[in-house]
Amino acid sequence: MQTRVRKAIFPVGGLGTRFLPATKAMPKEMLPVVDKPLIQYALEEAQAAGIEEFVFVTGRGKGAIEDHFDRSFELEATLRERSKLAELEELLRWVPRAGTVAYTRQQEPMGLGHAVWCARHFVNDEPFAVLLADDLILSKQPCLKQMTEAYGRVGGNMVAVMDVAREHTKRYGILSVGKENGPLVEVKGLVEKPKPEAAPSTLAVIGRYIIQPQVFAHLDKKAIGAGGEIQLTDSLIPMIGQMPFHGYRFEGQRFDCGDKVGFFEANVAFALARPDMGPEVRRIVQNYAKG
Handedness of CA 256, 196, 159, 16 (dihedral sign): negative
Rounded to whole angstroms, how far apart are CA atoms 102 and 120?
12
Touching ligand G1P, residues 209-238 (CB under 6 A): 231-233
38-68 exposure pattern, b = at least 16 Cβ within 10 A, e = fewer: bbbbbbebbbebebebbbbbbbeebeebeeb
Which helix (H) or strand (E) covers residue 161, if one does?
strand 157-163
Note the maximum CA span of the chain.
63
For ligand G1P, the closer of residues 53 and 256 by Cβ is 256
List the one residue from 29, 45, 53, 135 that touches ligand G1P (CB under 6 A).
135
Provide, rounded to whole angstroms, the least separation between the CB of residue 168 and ligand G1P. 10
Phi-psi region of 61 (alpha: psi -120 to 50; beta: other; left: phi over 0): left
For ligand G1P, the closer of residues 173 and 244 by Cβ is 173
For ligand G1P, the closer of residues 244 and 247 by Cβ is 247
Written as one string, the DSSP assignment of 79-104 is HHHTT-HHHHHHHHHSSPPTTSEEEE
Provide, rounded to whole angstroms, the least separation between the CB of residue 289 and ligand G1P. 29
For ligand G1P, the closer of residues 79 and 185 by Cβ is 185
Rounded to whole angstroms, how far apart are CA atoms 35 and 270?
10
Q: Does 157 bind ligand G1P (CB under 6 A)?
A: no
For ligand G1P, the closer of residues 94 and 264 by Cβ is 264
Residue 226 vs residues 110, 201, 215, 265: alpha-carbon distances, Å: 11, 18, 18, 28
Q: Does 143 bind ligand G1P (CB under 6 A)?
A: no
Provide, rounded to whole angstroms, the least separation between the CB of residue 5 and ligand G1P. 19
Provide, rounded to whole angstroms, the least separation between the CB of residue 150 and ligand G1P. 19
Instruction: Compose the 168-207 pattern: x for residues touching ligand G1P by CB under 6 A, - for all others.
Output: ----xx------------------x-----------xxxx
Q: Does 29 bind ligand G1P (CB under 6 A)?
A: no
Q: Does 161 bind ligand G1P (CB under 6 A)?
A: no
Rounded to whole angstroms, how far apart are CA atoms 207 and 106?
18
Residue nearest to ligand G1P (CB): 173
Q: Report cis status (omega within 30 of 0) of the bond before 109.
A: no
Instruction: Compose the 100-129 pattern: x for residues touching ligand G1P by CB under 6 A, - for all others.
Output: ------------x-----------------
Look up residue 250 and give its amino acid: F
Size of the site for ligand G1P (CB under 6 A): 13
Binding site for ligand G1P (CB under 6 A): 112, 132, 135, 172-173, 192, 204-207, 231-233
